[in-house]
Structure 1
Amino acid sequence: MRIKMGTGVPEKGTMVQLRPETVGYRGALAMALRLELGSTHRAIKTARRWTGASERTVKHRFAGKRRPSGELLIQLARHSDMVFHMVLIGAGRYDDADPEMR
């Protein structure tokens, strides 16, 4: 019997873990989401409400494995101050950010 590798998606209740090798935009977005919302199932539900994305998609964002489209990034930034400031910092516009966040 042959086992297929890499094609299955974990069950709904599992949390995708943030890996140390994740850096850059995806890692910064994951960190911003976790700082703003935490890493509970309630945080996943909140991010789902903000974007309308599936649970699996949101879990991948929290883990830094996937990045949102531009439209969904704007929706996240609309609701999350941490994501908004991450976008400003990533764009080199940190001076435009709220002075309290420095």
Structure 2
Amino acid sequence: MSYVIEGCLSVLKPGCLLLFRDYGLYDMTMLRFPPEQRLGFREYMRSDGTLSYFFSLEIVRDLFLHAGFIELELEYCCVRLVNRRSGKKMQRIWVHGKFQKPTLE
């Protein structure tokens, strides 16, 4: 992950923003995975062989600050969705971040 974030920093112009949103810890998707698909505390193997990772604020902050970004916003975005037909309630949790490449000064 750090390799990709460092690559993003290298192609952005000074002062430009990078917006980040991905699964947060304890999102309903994470809670629905069966134990046999768990690879680690935050990593899960989907049935198609791809991986899912669930972020905490601290992990995202460390990744971006270590790469050289400036943190402007970082928070959990929690949304409660209700399927009107079935009445099923779903708690979605994402990590939302706004980071800036430092300006040349």
Q: So what's the TM-score if we normalise by structure 2? A: 0.24
Which protein is richer in helix relative to its size?
Answer: 1
Q: So what's the TM-score if we normalise by structure 1? A: 0.24
